[in-house]
Amino acid sequence: MSPRTLEYARTREWQKTVATERELRLLKAVLNLMDRQGQLDLHVEETKGSFPAAAVPESLFAMLDFESKGYVTDRDLWQFARKFHSLPFSTLFMLLLEVQHGHHCHEPTAATGRLSLRDIGILACIKGTAEHEALVEAASDDDARTALYLHRHTEACPGCGLRSQRDSDPTDCPEVVCLACGLMFRCVNLEANSQQKPIAVPASAQQDFFRVIHAIATVTEKVEELRRQLLADWSKKDLAEAFDAISGGKPAFSFTDLRRALFEHSFWSSDRELQLLWMRYTHQCRFSGVGGSNDAAGVTLVGFLRQLQPAAMKS
């Protein structure tokens, strides 16, 4: 082998090593941010754990929307926070921006700078609960109210899933027959007035809700800073390469792909952190109109990039 050929071979080998090291640094930077997102989301959900079930989303929304505008603004949140411990207005504005960035950034009905009943419910309810999932699936506040009513005042048939309620006291005969499949099952949910006005939120529940808002606002700031740091070091094209590394070249990655990538690079996320991280990315895909929240649909590149992009840069 001639000296020139040998030098060329050494150069190519060095280039491959550098490229491999770069790809590894890139992937670890992305996975580090995702791992932190899972940890921070867990902190928020643990803060919600002591929140009283009596403080329903409709009551919280009515409390915040004290002018009965039909929506909640960052100023409404700021005025509420002043009752307990003042939070910077910019922090609450970033919280509001993050909610719209992560949940309904492409919905035609979404208004910039406004939070709906559905948004407030998603903020307050623990992720993974039936109530939270019903709100996530709702396309509007009317749908959210219907979903909440059905969740509280009806019972799903164990056979076909059709929801039923009673119009009389179930004391003597708690069983009902499903009109769809004929299965007999126990149902004690009575018909309720869906137009009933929200009850006032007790002072103790307001304090607990402030803790939730404070936790979400703090986490939002931390995640936003992590996103800025990532985008300062890597381009969107680089992030697309990281996506390919996680997905194995597929158009979407699954929960299994995500867990494997994290564990292979020594990010030991707990099961709950992984679950919350998956919800963050798959709900993003759902509201971007680019996929669902199940393993089959997975996380696409569009949804992946939006969760790594600062909320202030959303399109």
Q: What is the pLDDT of residue 71?
A: 93
Is 63 in contact with 297 (CB distance < 8 Å)? no
Q: Which of 3-12, 125-134, 235-244, 262-271 has the lowest mean pLDDT?
A: 3-12
* Rounded Cα distance, 277 and 269, in Å: 10
Going by their DSSP bridges, the two strands 175-177 and 299-300 should be labelled as: unpaired
Q: What average pLDDT does this structure show over 254-272?
A: 93
Residue 111 has pLDDT above 70, yes or no: no
* Rounded Cα distance, 27 and 247, in Å: 12
Q: What is the pLDDT of residue 19?
A: 55
- Burial of residue 255 (CB within 10 Å: 0-12, 13-18, 19+) is middle
Residue 175 has pLDDT above 90, yes or no: no
Q: What is the pLDDT of residue 256?
A: 94
- Tell me how far CA of residue 213 lies from CA of 86, 116, 218, in angstroms: 12, 15, 9
Which residue bears the tokens 């708690």? 174
Question: What confidence category does residue 110 fall into, taking pLDDT thresholds of 50, 70 and 90?
Answer: low
Is 120 in contact with 72 (CB distance < 8 Å)? yes
Residue 11 has pLDDT above 70, yes or no: no
Percent of the chain with pLDDT over 70: 78
Q: What is the pLDDT of residue 287?
A: 46
Q: Which of 31-45, 83-97, 161-175, 263-277 has the lowest mean pLDDT?
A: 161-175
pTM over 0.75: yes
Tell which wins on pLDDT, 183 or 65.
Answer: 65
Question: What confidence category does residue 261 fall into, taking pLDDT thresholds of 50, 70 and 90?
Answer: very high
* Rounded Cα distance, 138 and 123, in Å: 14
* Rounded Cα distance, 284 and 309, in Å: 12
Q: What is the pLDDT of residue 105?
A: 41
Q: What is the pLDDT of residue 55?
A: 65
Question: What confidence category does residue 29 fall into, taking pLDDT thresholds of 50, 70 and 90?
Answer: very high
Is 289 in contact with 302 (CB distance < 8 Å)? no
Going by their DSSP bridges, the two strands 163-164 and 252-253 should be labelled as: unpaired
Secondary structure (H, E, C), 98-112: HHHHHHCCCCCCCCC
Question: What confidence category does residue 185 fall into, taking pLDDT thresholds of 50, 70 and 90?
Answer: confident
Q: What is the pLDDT of residues 227-254, one digit of tens each?
A: 999 999 999 999 999 999 999 999 999 9
What does DSSP assign to residue 51? S
Sheet strands (E) in the chain: 155-156, 163-164, 175-177, 184-186, 252-253, 299-300
